[in-house]
């Protein structure tokens, strides 16, 4: 409200109640506002204290869930790394075995080719 609106309200109050009763009305109104504010503060305080346990429990549950999720994530990461390392190791072993077999076959083919070439030279 602006200044002129308040002035109009004061004039109307003076006309309705008179100058003698206005201080009593203001005093009663002030006391009522003070009591209302006190009751509001008391309700807020009561709500704060009654919900403190709930908020603490919610915080504990949230922390517990976060810990469980982190533990599970760490376990999954560890398992994935173990499987990955195992697959890499198996692939390296298989690759080395295949390479050895290829080298053996290549050596046998080369030996056989040399023997055939020698036989052809002798027969020619």
The closest of 44, 65, 62, 42 to 54, measured between CA atoms, is: 62
Angle at alpha carbon of residue 86, lines to 83 and 88, rounded to 5°: 110
Q: State the pTM of this model.
A: 0.46
Helices 22-123, 3-17: crossing angle, 10 deg rounding: 140
pLDDT in tens, 2-59: 888 887 887 887 788 777 887 888 888 899 999 999 999 999 999 988 898 889 999 9
Q: For residues 122 and 116, give the distance between their C-alpha atoms in angstroms, rounded to a whole number.
A: 10
pLDDT in tens, 71-110: 999 999 999 999 999 999 999 999 999 999 999 998 899 9
Q: For residues 60 and 54, give the distance between their C-alpha atoms in angstroms, rounded to a whole number.
A: 10
- Residues 70, 74, 75, 79, CA torsion sign: positive
């Amino acid at each position: 409200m602006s200044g002129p609106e308040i002035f109009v309200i004061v004039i109307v109050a003076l006309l309705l109640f008179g100058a003698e009763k206005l201080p009593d009305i203001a005093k009663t109104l002030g006391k009522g506002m003070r009591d209302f504010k006190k009751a509001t503060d008391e309700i807020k305080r009561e709500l704060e204290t009654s919900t403190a346990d709930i908020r603490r429990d919610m915080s504990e549950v949230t922390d517990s869930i976060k810990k469980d999720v982190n533990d599970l994530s760490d376990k999954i990461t560890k398992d994935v790394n173990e499987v990955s390392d195992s697959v890499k190791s198996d692939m390296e072993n298989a690759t080395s075995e295949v390479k050895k077999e290829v080298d053996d076959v290549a050596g046998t083919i080369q030996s056989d080719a040399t023997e055939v070439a020698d036989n052809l030279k002798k027969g020619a």
